[in-house]
Amino acid sequence: MRISVSGEGRSVDIDIEGSSMQKLAAAEATALRLLSAVPAEKPATPIGFSATSDIDLSADD
pLDDT of 2-14, one tens digit each?
888 887 778 888 8
54 in any annotated domain: no
13 in any annotated domain: yes
Q: Is the pTM of this model over 0.75?
A: no
55 in any annotated domain: no
18 in any annotated domain: yes
In this prediction, residues 6-28 reach a mean pLDDT of 86
Contacts of 11 (CB under 8 A, 6+ apart): 4, 5
Instruction: Sort 44 into a burial class: Cβ within 10 Å, 0-12 / 13-18 / 19+.
Output: exposed
32 in any annotated domain: yes
In this prediction, residues 14-42 reach a mean pLDDT of 85
42 in any annotated domain: no
**Looking at the 3D structure of the chain, how many domains does it have?**
1
Say if residue 61's pLDDT is above 60.
Answer: no
Which range of residues forms the domain containing residue 26? 2-37
